[in-house]
Amino acid sequence: MSKGFISAFRLGIVCIAVLVGFAGIATRLVHLQVVQRDDLVRQVEKARKKVVVLKARRGSIFDVHGNLMASSRSFIEVGVDPHSTLEEDVEKLPQLANLLELPVSEVMVAFDKKTAFRRSKNGNETKQIRWRKLSESVGEDTYDRILELKIKGVYGNRDFRRTYPGGSLAAHMLGYVNREGIATSGVESYMDFYLRGQDGWRESERDGRRRELAQFRSSEIPPADGYDVRLSLDMVVQHIVERELENIVEKFNPKGATIIVSDPLTGYIMGLANYPSFDLNYYNEADLANQRNIAVTDIFEPGSTFKIVAASAALEESLVTLDTQFNCGSDIIWAKGKALRLPRDSHDHGMMSVEEIVMQSSNRGAAHLGVLLGPNRLYKYARAFGFGEETQFPFGGEVRGMLHPVKKWDGLTITRLPMGHAVGVTPMQIHFAMSTIANGGILMKPQVVSQIVSKAEPVFVDDNGASVLPFEPTQKRRVISKQTAEMMAKLLTGVVSPEGTANGAAIEGFQVAGKTGTTQKIIDGQYSSSHHVGSFSGFFPASRPRVAITVIVDDAQLKGRTAYGSTVAVPSFKVISEQLIQYLGINPIEPINTYALAERGRYD
């Protein structure tokens, strides 16, 4: 047989093998190009297309004078793609570690580890690591120095982080933005729509090494930064309030405390602080209970501060005058043929005028006024002053308090409600009820935001050329007439006189009006003789009010003494008032009997 001879059998096998191979390739091509085409195209597009989110800068928050209270600090998250690194860059890693303030060994691991195991339904799978974070917060200057090292595969993504220069200052008012970028409370949550802005995006292509091809950028939408928000809060007033709150805590070690300062004629809150509080920059380390704004979330029996309701109502209905006398020495009163037992007073009293009842805070006198009004009118005025309903404080979490309808009253309610028992209120409700008298009988809505500020689409334009959307004062309703409010203001100045229960709130040369409150706390279903809530709510100058201040101290610790409002709240009212007189430039005003209240008021 010739050496060049090839048998037909062998040749047939080779031809069949070649045909089978080509058939397999053809089948695979059909499968890839027809059956799997859409899925593969999507994968290629996903790998080739690059969509980058361009973060919008969140708007800043300022106080009423433009002092910064919250802002967004630019930072860069730096990481490495270990598949893009070069051997010659290893010698630069100690410099990189020094800039990032990381151990060199940790940086070396990030550069060397290119795969990771991942558990799945089919067992462990190996996944390539295309991004490994080195630091989540690098400043602009530091990042520029990192780029100067020219280390292949090291790059950063820009983002913003919320910072609060004041730390715990106005914590319950400002609220915070968490690490996920979600506004959770306070102004941050309430004004989130305006503050957050609108993120932009950029679409481009990447090469095989996942590098952006800038020449193929197909579209780019720039981010729209958020609007700035200006509050009615005054940082100086807030500092004064929080410093005094610290003094209360140091002296009395209370369970909680609240101080509110506002302009009673507009409803603008100038300062508000609670104890306990927390640092906004470290919100994640704070107890959730400390983050509660107890000015609107906690209720208590107000005690004698509630007596303004019965006194105002009786005067408004012309049932009494300031000189009308009641027998406050008897513990029984007859009404509609029934004997009603009156509450006890802290001191023995005989016949008392309405003026003396308010001045000396007589429980029995208040009960007389309540019985004279009757259940329906007493309830109507309590609701009119804002009790049993939300004040419309702009932030979430506010409770309505507790004011039972008349049909649910028991036999004692008509004599206990006028003295501030059988009712649950929030500090904010007490504050704005007192502000109603200061405002000539108009109940205002609490306001915290004064303006929204942007650089475009002006509504109004300020001196700096920025557009301003103002938040105007909002009245809820008229509660009592201007004349009745003037009479009540006069009565409440008597509370601060030498004969009144709050003589410690008097300020020489100024007319101060207000009311103390002391109530026993309910412990294990019974009124406790050793646990109290002491309060004082007032305003000044009485004839032309500039500020209203409420101080409430929960469960102050006084050895062997009762935590009366005159003891734990009145001194703080005076300290704050004296500082505000200097800061706000408040001048003494003519005597209260000139009734100048309406001259400064905006509403009739």
**Of 166, 199, 231, which closes a domain?**
231
pLDDT at 590 over 60: no
Is 520 a domain residue?
yes
CATH number of the domain to which 374 belongs = 3.40.710.10
- The per-residue pLDDT for range 500-519, each reduced to its tens digit, is 999 999 999 999 999 999 99
Per-residue pLDDT at 138: 83
| Among 208, 227, 269, 190, CA closest to 61 | 227
- The per-residue pLDDT for range 383-417, each reduced to its tens digit, is 999 999 999 999 888 999 999 999 999 989 999 99
**Of 231, 249, 280, which closes a domain?**
231
Report CA Rg, the chain: 36
| Mean pLDDT score across all residues of the chain | 86
Asked if residue 244 and residue 150 are part of one domain, the reply reads no
> What is the span of the domain harbouring residue 179?
52-231
- The per-residue pLDDT for range 47-84, each reduced to its tens digit, is 556 666 778 889 999 999 999 999 988 778 888 888 77
For the CA atoms of 429, 434, 437, 439, what is the dihedral angle to 10 degrees? -80
The β-bridge partners of 73 are 161
Amino acid at 502: A
Asked if residue 282 and residue 210 are part of one domain, the reply reads no
Number of domains in the chain: 2
To which H or E segment does residue 8 belong?
Answer: helix 8-30
Strands 61-62 and 228-231: parallel
Is 378 a domain residue?
yes
Top mean-pLDDT range of 94-98, 116-120, 432-436 = 432-436
Q: Cβ contacts of residue 587 below 8 Å, gap of 6+?
A: none
Q: pTM for the whole thing? A: 0.82
Q: Quick check: 183 and 252 in contact, CB under 8 A?
A: no
Asked if residue 205 and residue 153 are part of one domain, the reply reads yes
CA 68 to CA 334: how far, in whole Å? 61
The β-bridge partners of 468 are 453, 460
Asked if residue 569 and residue 448 are part of one domain, the reply reads yes
pLDDT band at 6 (very low <50, low <70, confident <90, very high): low
Is 14 a domain residue?
no
Asked if residue 240 and residue 224 are part of one domain, the reply reads no
Asked if residue 277 and residue 133 are part of one domain, the reply reads no
pLDDT at 602 over 60: no
CATH number of the domain to which 91 belongs = 3.90.1310.10
The neighbour count for residue 54, using CB atoms within 10 Å, is: 13
pLDDT at 235 over 80: yes
pLDDT at 476 over 70: yes
Amino acid at 266: T
* HSE, side-chain direction, 13 A CA sphere, residue 407: 0
To which H or E segment does residue 108 belong?
Answer: helix 104-112
Per-residue pLDDT at 78: 86
Q: Quick check: 239 and 89 in contact, CB under 8 A?
A: no
Q: Quick check: 463 and 325 in contact, CB under 8 A?
A: no
Per-residue pLDDT at 592: 47
Percent of the chain's residues with pLDDT above 70: 86
Per-residue pLDDT at 219: 62
Q: Quick check: 164 and 174 in contact, CB under 8 A?
A: yes
pLDDT at 546 over 70: yes
Phi, psi at 21, each rounded to 5°: -60, -45
Sequence length of the chain is: 604
Asked if residue 311 and residue 453 are part of one domain, the reply reads yes
**Quick one: DSSP state of residue 32?**
I
In DSSP notation, 230-244 reads: EES--HHHHHHHHHH
Is 586 a domain residue?
yes
The neighbour count for residue 167, using CB atoms within 10 Å, is: 13
| Among 71, 248, 82, 270, CA closest to 173 | 270
Q: 35 or 42, which is more confident?
A: 35
CA 512 to CA 313: how far, in whole Å? 22
Is 197 a domain residue?
yes
Is 379 a domain residue?
yes
The number of angstroms, rounded, from the C-alpha of 70 to the middle of its chain's C-alpha atoms is 12
CA 386 to CA 81: how far, in whole Å? 61
Per-residue pLDDT at 400: 96
Per-residue pLDDT at 41: 61
Q: What angle do CA 199, 202, 207 make, to 5 degrees?
A: 145
- The per-residue pLDDT for range 336-391, each reduced to its tens digit, is 778 889 998 878 888 999 999 999 999 999 999 999 999 999 999 999 999 999 99
Asked if residue 347 and residue 312 are part of one domain, the reply reads yes
Asked if residue 170 and residue 282 are part of one domain, the reply reads no
Strands 547-554 and 256-262: antiparallel
Asked if residue 278 and residue 145 are part of one domain, the reply reads no
Of the candidate ranges 26-30, 246-250, 305-309, 549-553, the one whose mean pLDDT is the lowest: 26-30
* 3-class SS string, 307-370: HHHHHHHHHHCCCCCCCCEEECCCCEEEECCEEEECCCCCCCCCEEEHHHHHHCCCHHHHHHHH
Asked if residue 247 and residue 162 are part of one domain, the reply reads no
Is 134 a domain residue?
yes
Three-state DSSP state, 300: strand
**Of 231, 261, 277, which closes a domain?**
231
Q: Cβ contacts of residue 85 below 8 Å, gap of 6+?
A: 111, 151, 152, 153
Asked if residue 561 and residue 429 are part of one domain, the reply reads yes
Is 26 a domain residue?
no
- The per-residue pLDDT for range 277-313, each reduced to its tens digit, is 999 999 999 999 999 999 999 999 999 999 999 999 9
The burial of 129, by beta-carbon neighbours within 10 Å (0-12 exposed, 13-18 middle, 19 or more buried), is given as: middle
